[in-house]
Amino acid sequence: NNNNNNNNNNNNNNNNNNNNNNNNNNNNNNTNTITILNFYNINIKLIKVIKNYKDYSYFYKSLNKLVLYKDGFTALSSFLKVIIIKLNLEVLLVDKAINMTKKYKIKRIRKNLIFKSKIFSNSFKYFKYILKVAC
């Protein structure tokens, strides 16, 4: 009986630990991921805020595009000021993303404005190792 009780207690403890871990994972996901609805009905998720660059945030659409934006989303036909860089979502850690931009020596283009429809089109020519900075 004592052995059975001990086993039951251990199982309960393990279950509690698993539940706590799941809750922690869920909490982390909730704090790092925010869904934003925009006028184009595109599901864009906030992945992570870059601490080193105050006003910039990671956004992505589909699995092979990563978009950084600065104070960007405005209404309807207005321009969207953006930074765009093509990265794999496996490289979402801030340090790796910054290292990738340095490695490919991505050029900065100041005051470059593009239409939202072009930014979020499926055409890869807008996303192939381009970094656009709205200053």
Based on the domain organization, do 48 and 77 belong to the same domain?
A: yes
Count of domains observed in the chain: 2
If you compute the radius of gyration of the chain from its CA atoms, what whole number of angstroms results? 21
Based on the domain organization, do 70 and 80 belong to the same domain?
A: yes
User: Domain of 110?
Assistant: 33-133
Summarised one tens digit per residue, pLDDT across range 6-50 is 444 344 444 444 444 444 443 333 333 333 333 344 333 333 333
The DSSP symbol for 107 reads: P
Helix (H/G/I), strand (E/B), else coil: 60: strand
Give the pLDDT score at 100.
Answer: 54
Given strand 44-49, what is the order of strands in its sheet?
A: 34-36, 44-49, 56-60, 66-70, 82-85
Based on the domain organization, do 21 and 77 belong to the same domain?
A: no
Dihedral (Cα; 110, 73, 104, 106), 10-degree rounding: 0
Give the pLDDT score at 23.
Answer: 42
Give the pLDDT score at 98.
Answer: 54
Summarised one tens digit per residue, pLDDT across range 91-114 is 344 445 555 555 555 544 333 334
Give the pLDDT score at 78.
Answer: 33
